[in-house]
Structure formats: C-alpha cells, structure tokens
Amino acid sequence: MSLKHAILVLLETEPGSGYDLLKRFREHIGYFWNASHQQIYQQLKWMHEAGWLALRTEPQQGKPDRKVYELTPEGHAALLEWLAETSKPQKVNDSLLVRLYGGHLREADNIRADIAHHRKLYEQSRAALLAIEQHYLALPEAERQPYRFPYLTLRRGILSVQAWLDWADEVDAVLNHL
C-alpha cells in the first residue's frame, strides 16, 4: 500500500538502485519498514512506468549496468500529496505473541527457546541502532541537521527494541518459576 511511498522517501533523500534500497530497508529502517527484493524491483518498475522515477543507467566495467533511480517532479508531487494524508494506525501482526497466547499447548522449553531466539535478534538490532545513534551524535551540529527527522525515527527503533527486551525479561522470570 505505501511501499511506493517508503521508496519515494528514501530516494528523495538519496537516489540509488533497487539493491541500495534493499540494504537501506534491511540495515537502517527495518524497525519501521520491511520489503523483499522482489517487492522492491516490482514497485520500481511500476513507479518508473508511472513517471514517478527517472532511470539513469550507469555502465560499469565488466559488471552489469547499475540502474540508479531518482525522483521526477511527478514523483516528488506524489510524495508531497501522500505526506499530507493522515496515517492510519499501524497494523500489527505478531505471530510470536499468538504462539505465546497458546502457551498452555506448548512445552515450557519450547517457549523459552522461542523467546531466547528472538532475544538474540533484538539484541543485535539494539546494538546496530545504538551504533548508528553514536555515529549521529558524534557529528557536528551543522551536519546533524539533515538527519533530524531520521534521527527521531531511530529513537523510536531504540525505545521499541528496548521495550521488547524489557518485556522478554518479565516473560523469562515468569517462565522460570513455572
């Protein structure tokens, strides 16, 4: 529904290829937007055909051409239009919690392992986000300016991951005196 617009926001900040976008989704904004490479390439194709994106093909020695996309004025207009809409509340679908809800049908060890597995992922995520934050905070005031808004979203990622880990501690405490 708004992967198109997520792509517009990213390309407005900095033009890039489909693979560049994939990495940005994975490494930088995965705590608020996720997309597979198939999805991204499909959308880029659609957006290019709709006139939202211009395509610059950079020939590379030996390697296949690098296809760099950037916003057209139409794409910019579409982005502004979308930004003005009021966003619907986030739709959450978390199967880990569905599984926990049905915990009475599972082995306690299975639940513990499930939580432990996710804990590792969230801890990795927290470390990555905190590293990005340190990098941002080390910048001189002037260079921080353009990242003001992305930084606010980064804070959301950090608080959100931390809240998950705090909850996991509660869960482990309960599971351990079962």
Partner DNA sequence: AGCAAATATGCAATTTTTTGCATAAAAATA
Partner DNA sequence: TATTTTTATGCAAAAAATTGCATATTTGCT
Question: How far is the C-alpha of 75 from the C-alpha of 5, rounded, in Å?
Answer: 9
Nearest to 96 by CA among 171, 176, 177, 174: 171
How many residues touch its own copies under the rule CB under 8 A: the total is 62
User: Applying CB under 8 A, does 150 fall inside the site for its own copies?
Assistant: yes
Counting contacts by CB under 8 A, is residue 29 touching its own copies?
A: yes
Residues 114 and 175 sit within 8 Å (Cβ to Cβ)? no
Q: Does 153 bind its own copies (CB under 8 A)?
A: yes
Asked whether position 78 contacts its own copies by CB under 8 A, the answer is no
Name the residue nearer to DNA (CB basis): 39 or 162.
39
In the complex with its own copies, the residue whose CB is nearer, 93 or 134, is 93
Binding partner at 41 among its own copies, DNA, none, C-beta below 5 to 8 Å by kind: DNA
Using the minimum distance from each CB to its own copies, give the nearer residue, 3 or 66.
3
Strand partners, 71: 53
Q: Does 127 bind its own copies (CB under 8 A)?
A: no
* Sign of the four-CA dihedral 104, 105, 107, 109: negative
Whose CA is closest to 78, among 149, 153, 2? 2
3-state secondary structure of 125: helix
- Which DSSP helix (H) or strand (E) runs through 111? helix 108-137
Binding to its own copies by residue 26, rule CB under 8 A? Answer: no
Instruction: Tell me which of 15, 42, 103, 128 binds its own copies, using CB under 8 A.
Output: 103
Among 9, 31, 32, 35, binds DNA (CB under 7 A): 35
Task: Output the CA angle 85-3-134, nearest 5 degrees.
Answer: 90
* Cross-strand partners of 70: 54
How many residues form the binding site for DNA (CB under 7 A)? 26
Is 89 a binder of DNA (CB under 7 A)?
A: no
Q: Which residues bind DNA (CB under 7 A)?
A: 1, 3-4, 17-20, 22-23, 35-39, 41-45, 62-64, 66-67, 91, 93
